[in-house]
Every structure is written in structure tokens, then in C-alpha cells.
């Protein structure tokens, strides 16, 4: 009976707490949208939409990533990484430096909740590179000790939340920049140096091919899910 009473008490308590939790989440989403649209209001604060757009589609022309529908835990982790210096992002560093943990949580929840169509990339897919990139993404290059990208990033690169982001449909400029950043040890937030080792063993042409392949795909609406 004690076990049953405990279950009943937990259910009753959750019914009382649910409205409060819902209101709190809504407040965070509103705060996140405000920061995305206007910044925090503090001197020098820059709105997230200046680079990522309000609906999170990013700006392929400058290699600013698409973050619409990305897992909130991943977005939050990466912003904190920029603040700590483990994620190499010199432009972002100045933007997020003064964000509080609540600001970061709010922005992460907001961008995880928004949707955006795929925006045109800077150039059409390079088909020979797409073919090479597809091979690397789906089968790896085992002679160079490079596993398939989809083993960590999921089918077609649609992500495995919260640790592995979707890269399906991400713009090619951003993807290539991150591979180069990992290869030359400027970005250091990968578990056990996994991405650094892989990116370093890829040739420059192979890095471009992986970027071309994933950029040629249609992004998922939500990390980890199909279109």
C-alpha cells in the first residue's frame, strides 16, 4: 500500500506542478524570442537574428548555421562552450559573452521551437563532390580509420539529440568551416577528441565533399526526426 500511495501522491503533485512548469516554459520562450529579435538590451548586445535569422534558417552567404529545430540542450551546450573557449567561434564569442545562463536557456528553447524552410546555398551542389561525400557519410573511409558520419549523426545526418546535432541540409560554408576548425585544433568541444581526429585524417577535398553532401540534403524539421 505504501508503494501505491507514493505513486498516487506523485501523480497528484505532478498535476499541480504542470501548469506552473508550462507557464515557466512559455516565459522562457518569450524571453528567447525577444533576445533573438532585439538582444538583451544591454550595451553592445546583438540580436541573434542578425546572423541566424528570427526563424533560425541561418545565413549561407556568411556561413552562419541553421539552428531552427536543433535540440535545445545542444544549442545551450554550444553557447556555453563559446563562453568557455572550448568551441572556437571568434564572432560568436563577443555576442554571447554577457548572456546569463537564463538567457542562454531561453534562446536555446526558442530556436529549438521554431521552423524554417531551407535557404538557398551560395552555389549549386558539386555533384562529383556530393558523390564522394555520400560515400564518406554512409560508409566511411576505413583505410584511413574514418567511420561513417551517420554512425554518430544519425540517418542522413538528421541528428541524435542531445549530443549530436543534425547536419542534414546545413549550409556548406558552415560545415566546411567546422571541419577545418576541428582539423586544426581550434575547436575542442568534441567528446574524446573524436571529431578532431576524423577531420584531421580527411583531406581538404574530402572535407569539402562531406560538406557538399550534407548541404545537398533537405534539413529535418526537428533534430532526430524525418522531414
pLDDT for res 24: 81
What's the pLDDT band for 129 if we cut at 50, 70, 90? Answer: very high
Map grid coordinates 581550434 to a residue.
186
Are 20 and 36 spatial neighbours (Cβ–Cβ below 8 Å)?
A: no
Class (C level, CATH) for 127-215? mainly alpha
pLDDT for res 185: 83
- Comparing C-alpha atoms, which of 175, 164, 52 is closest to residue 119? 52
Question: Among 38-42, 132-136, 167-171, which is the least confidently predicted range?
Answer: 38-42
112's enclosing H/E stretch is helix 101-113
Q: Reduced to 3 DSSP states, what percent helix, strand and coil does the chain have, rounded to the nearest 5?
A: 60, 5, 40
Q: pLDDT for 68-122, tens place per residue?
A: 999 999 999 999 999 999 999 999 999 999 999 999 999 999 999 999 999 999 9
What's the pLDDT band for 7 if we cut at 50, 70, 90? Answer: low
pLDDT for res 43: 85
Domain extents in the chain:
2-113, 127-215
**Given this chain, do its domains 2-113 and 127-215 carry the same CATH topology?**
yes
One of 3.30.420.40, 3.40.50.970, 3.40.309.10, 1.10.760.10 is the CATH number of 2-113, namely 1.10.760.10
Compute how many other C-beta atoms are within 10 angstroms of the C-beta atom of residue 70: 26
pLDDT at 4 over 60: no
**With helix as H, strand as E and coil as C, how does 32-76 read?**
HHHHHHHCCCCCCCCCCHHHHCCCCCCEHHHCECCCCCCCHHHHH
DSSP 148: -
Percent of the chain with pLDDT over 70: 90
pLDDT for res 70: 98
pLDDT for res 6: 62
pLDDT at 20 over 70: no
pLDDT for res 12: 58
Q: pLDDT for 140-196, tens place per residue?
A: 999 999 999 999 999 999 999 999 999 999 999 999 999 999 999 889 999 889 999
Amino acid at each position: 500500500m505504501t508503494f501505491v500511495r507514493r505513486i498516487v501522491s506523485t501523480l497528484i503533485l505532478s498535476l499541480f506542478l504542470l501548469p506552473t512548469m508550462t507557464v515557466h516554459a512559455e516565459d522562457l520562450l518569450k524571453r528567447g524570442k525577444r533576445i533573438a529579435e532585439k538582444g538583451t538590451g544591454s550595451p553592445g548586445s546583438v540580436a541573434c537574428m542578425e546572423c541566424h535569422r528570427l526563424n533560425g534558417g541561418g545565413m549561407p552567404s556568411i556561413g552562419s548555421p541553421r539552428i531552427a529545430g536543433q535540440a535545445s540542450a545542444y544549442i545551450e551546450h554550444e553557447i556555453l562552450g563559446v563562453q568557455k573557449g572550448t568551441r572556437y567561434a571568434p564572432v560568436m564569442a563577443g555576442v554571447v559573452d554577457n548572456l546569463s545562463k537564463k538567457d542562454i536557456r531561453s534562446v536555446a528553447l526558442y530556436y529549438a521551437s521554431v521552423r524554417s524552410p531551407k535557404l538557398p546555398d551560395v552555389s549549386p551542389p558539386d555533384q562529383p563532390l556530393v558523390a564522394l561525400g555520400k560515400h564518406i557519410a554512409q560508409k566511411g573511409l576505413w583505410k584511413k580509420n574514418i567511420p561513417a558520419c551517420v554512425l554518430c549523426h544519425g540517418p542522413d545526418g538528421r541528428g541524435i539529440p542531445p549530443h549530436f546535432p543534425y547536419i542534414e541540409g546545413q549550409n556548406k560554408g558552415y560545415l566546411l568551416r567546422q571541419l577545418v576548425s576541428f582539423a586544426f585544433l581550434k575547436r575542442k568541444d568534441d567528446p574524446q577528441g573524436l571529431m578532431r581526429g576524423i577531420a584531421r585524417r580527411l583531406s581538404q577535398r574530402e572535407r569539402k565533399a562531406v560538406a557538399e553532401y550534407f548541404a545537398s540534403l533537405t534539413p529535418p524539421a526537428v533534430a532526430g526526426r524525418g522531414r
